[in-house]
Structure 1
């Protein structure tokens, strides 16, 4: 199969979907790999490294898309890339379709055979989302702490405090991979941390493994309202597989918070778990509403592309190999977990959660 690795062009995105080592493995299995010039530079990989691995370098994105049977990306296609795709092309990347009707309609109209990283499920886990969730979770507490700085519009409180002063109070919505990572970093900074979640089994686990400055509470609307007036940072990490994220903090609830507090919406790719959230970029990461600083960068791991690219490609390569080996027509039969990754195929939607989000009919793969 001919596999195309384009340069990511989303604002402030520096990751790449295949490392030179991964390129060598795909080529060893008999596939042809086209890599756009400069695709790996942001992650620390030179064009020469891809050439040494056996990849063919192309300067023109249009030629790469035209030549490839499968496009492997990191982030979802943006509108300026839509015209580059050809009908019935395979696409493997993060899609987050529940929060993006325009992209969903494009993939259906173009009959793209689209598989997403974030919905691929193995034994109840999301192995292609988890590495980036961990990066984003660790970043969330760091960015929340930085943006408490007065020069960012924050309250001026140092997260861990110093002797004789107050520490920041941090609430983390969701105790999954991202929530756990956020709690570890916030606790490490010295803040007082509370994780809220509705999964009691997960809360028991977190209670056992977290340090003493991390508490756990069962999540409810009232629990969140009761905690908000005391919080300096709130990190939203809620995830419903493939679906749009519920709004756990409404615009009206912002008045409960202290001015200069910070909301970090890790869930923004799936629509965000704060009603007042909208996507931001690393260049302009925050905005202020009702006196509350909002950090809603939609590709948080892109800030640390060297770490993120390795973490992502360590997880995705085996599935890239499967798609290349069996093709979109047979991969779901040969590798059944790929059924959960399938979102659109030849104009048909195969993700019910996305269909429910947009009022589009979907089918079940058989």
Structure 2
């Protein structure tokens, strides 16, 4: 099989779908790997490493798409890539089709067999989404803390507090992988953390597994009560393969303090 790795063209996307070590494993099993020039450079993997791994580096994405039986990407195809997809080809990537009608229609029109990483389940887990959720959860607190700084227009609240000053209050909606990683990061900073979920058993588990947190059933009334004192609100709700529900209303936002921060990673 010929496996193609095009360079990601989505704005600010620096990841690459296949590392040189993985390319080497595939070529050792008699597969051919085509890599677009500079596809791995944003992740720290120059073309030379792919060549050493047995892959062929080509100049243009057009050639990768034209020759490959299977395309592996990180992000969903952009509009410029739609015409490059073809019937009989396999596409492996994060797709998030619920958020894009145009992408769904383009995939149907092309006849490509598209497999979305985020919908692959093993034992009721999402093994290809979990690593991204872990990163997103931890970074949500890092970015939120940064935007709370006065120089970024925030309230100036330090999430961990200092002696004589109360810690910042963090509210996390969703107790899945991303929510739990946000919880760990906020907890580690010393923030006052409340996590909400509709699964009471999940809340019970988190209450037993972790210290220094508040658990609360997720509903509109409880969210309304939390908004006035919240410094950092993190949305971390996941419905596999579907759009995340809209839980925060404009009325709730108006209750939040000036300079507070909302980070949505749903």
Instruction: Work out whether the TM-score is over 0.5.
Output: yes
Contact 1:88 1:110 in 2 (8 A): no
What residue is the counterpart of 2:127 in the other structure? 127
TM-fit CA distance, 1:215: 1.3
Between the aligned partners of 1:62 and 1:46, the Cα distance in structure 2 is 20
Between the aligned partners of 1:82 and 1:219, the Cα distance in structure 2 is 40
What residue is the counterpart of 2:11 in the other structure? 11
Give the alignment of 1:108-257 within 5 angstroms.
Answer: 108-212=108-212, 214-257=213-256
Worse overlay, 178-187 or 250-259: 250-259
Between the aligned partners of 2:228 and 2:152, the Cα distance in structure 1 is 20
- SS of residue paired to 1:202: helix
What residue is the counterpart of 1:315 in the other structure? none
Between the aligned partners of 2:34 and 2:209, the Cα distance in structure 1 is 45
Is 2:50 the partner of 1:76? no
What residue is the counterpart of 2:259 in the other structure? 260
Between the aligned partners of 1:87 and 1:53, the Cα distance in structure 2 is 29
TM-fit CA distance, 1:157: 1.0
TM-fit CA distance, 1:86: 2.1
Deviating 4+ runs (over 3 angstroms):
none
TM-fit CA distance, 1:87: 2.6
Cα deviation 1:219-266 (Å, max 9, x = unaligned): 111111111111000111100111111101012221111111111000
Unmatched segments (≥5 aa) in structure 1: 268-366
Unmatched segments (≥5 aa) in structure 2: none
Cα deviation 1:140-168 (Å, max 9, x = unaligned): 01111100012222111111121111211
TM-score normalised by length of structure 1: 0.71
Cα deviation 1:189-226 (Å, max 9, x = unaligned): 111000100111211111112222x1111111111111
Aligned residues: 266
Between the aligned partners of 1:153 and 1:97, the Cα distance in structure 2 is 34
- SS of residue paired to 1:83: helix
Cα deviation 1:117-144 (Å, max 9, x = unaligned): 0000111111100010000000001111
Give the alignment of 1:277-288 within 5 angstroms.
Answer: none
Contact 1:88 1:113 in 2 (8 A): yes
C-alpha RMSD over aligned residues = 0.9
What residue is the counterpart of 1:306 in the other structure? none
- SS of residue paired to 2:108: helix
TM-score normalised by length of structure 2: 0.98
- SS of residue paired to 1:179: helix
